[in-house]
Chains A and B, each alone.
Chain A
Amino acid sequence: DTGVSQDPRHKITKRGQNVTFRCDPISEHNRLYWYRQTLGQGPEFLTYFQNEAQLEKSRLLSDRFSAERPKGSFSTLEIQRTEQGDSAMYLCASSFPGLLNTEAFFGQGTRLTVV
C-alpha cells in the first residue's frame, strides 16, 4: 500500500495520560501535515513539515501538543496530559511540491477518545 499510513487507528486513553500517534507519508512526498477533526466539523490544520523542518506550528492547539519528523520521513504527534476536549480524529496528509505539485493525500486518521 503506497498511501499515507497512520497508527494506531483508534486510541482510548484516560484523562491526564500522554499519547503519541505516528504518520508514514507517501514515500516521495516531502511535505507532511497534521489536522484535527472533531465531530461534525471539517479538518482543522495543526502543523506542517517540509522534510524534517517544522515550518508552521503556531496553529497547534496548546503547548501540550507537539510534533516531530526527525529524519524527514515519518512523523509523530504527541499530546501530553490529555483532556476530554482532545477527543477527535487526528489526520495526517502529505504532498509533493515542485513541477508535479500534488494535492494533499490523507491517511485514514487516528481516532482518539479521552475518558
Chain B
Amino acid sequence: AQKVTQAQTEISVVEKEDVTLDCVYETRDTTYYLFWYKQPPSGELVFLIRRNSFDEQNEISGRYSWNFQKSTSSFNFTITASQVVDSAVYFCALSLYSGGGADGLTFGKGTHLIIQP
C-alpha cells in the first residue's frame, strides 16, 4: 500500500517570502509517480508537476521548484517570492501509474498555504 504524509497542516507567510512544502511518501514499488496539485477555493485540483521514480532531477518552473530525493522518500515543493495568488491547499500524491490507473492517486492530507499581503 502507498502512503503520503504532509506534516504541515497550515503555513502562513508574508508575501515575497520563500516557502517550502514538505512531502514524504511510502511505497514498496520501484516504479511510481509523484505529483503535486494545487486546490484553490474554487475546488478544482490543478496539476503542477509529475515526476517518475527514475528521474531524480530537480525541476524549476518559474517561481516553483521541486526537490525529489529517493534516499529520504521526499518530494518537496518550494515557492520562491510567494504571492497572494499562491494561497491555496497543496496536495502531494503518489501513484503506480502516470495518470492514476487501477489504484488511483494516493493523496496526502494537504497543506493550506496562506500568503499574507
Contact = CB atoms under 8 A, between A and B. Distances in A.
Interface of A: 31, 33, 35, 40-46, 48, 55-56, 59, 89, 91, 93, 95-97, 101-109, 111
Nearest to B46: A106
Interface string B39-82: 00011111100100000000000000000000000000000000
Contact of A42 (B44, B93, B102, B103): B93
A103 B99 contact: yes
B101 interface: yes
Nearest to B37: A106
B100 A108 contact: no
A19 B79 CA distance: 40
Contacts of B104: 33, 35, 45-46, 48, 56, 59
Q: Taking each of B46, B99, B105, B107, which has the highest tally of chain A beta carbons within 10 Å of its own beta carbon?
A: B99
Given A41-B110, A96-B99, 12 more contacts: A31-B100, A40-B110, A42-B91, A43-B91, A43-B107, A48-B104, A95-B98, A101-B98, A106-B37, A106-B47, A107-B44, A108-B44
A31 B45 contact: no
Contacts of B98: 95, 97, 101-103
Interface in B83-117: 91, 93, 98-110
B109 A48 contact: no
B70 to A, nearest CB: 20
Given A56-B103, A95-B100, A42 B108 contact: yes
A49 B41 CA distance: 28
Nearest to B45: A106
Given A108-B42, A108-B43, A31 B99 contact: yes
Contacts of A44: 107
A35 B105 CA distance: 9
Contacts of B25: none
B109 A42 contact: yes
A104 B100 contact: yes
A93 B100 contact: yes
Contacts of B101: 31, 48
A95 B4 CA distance: 21
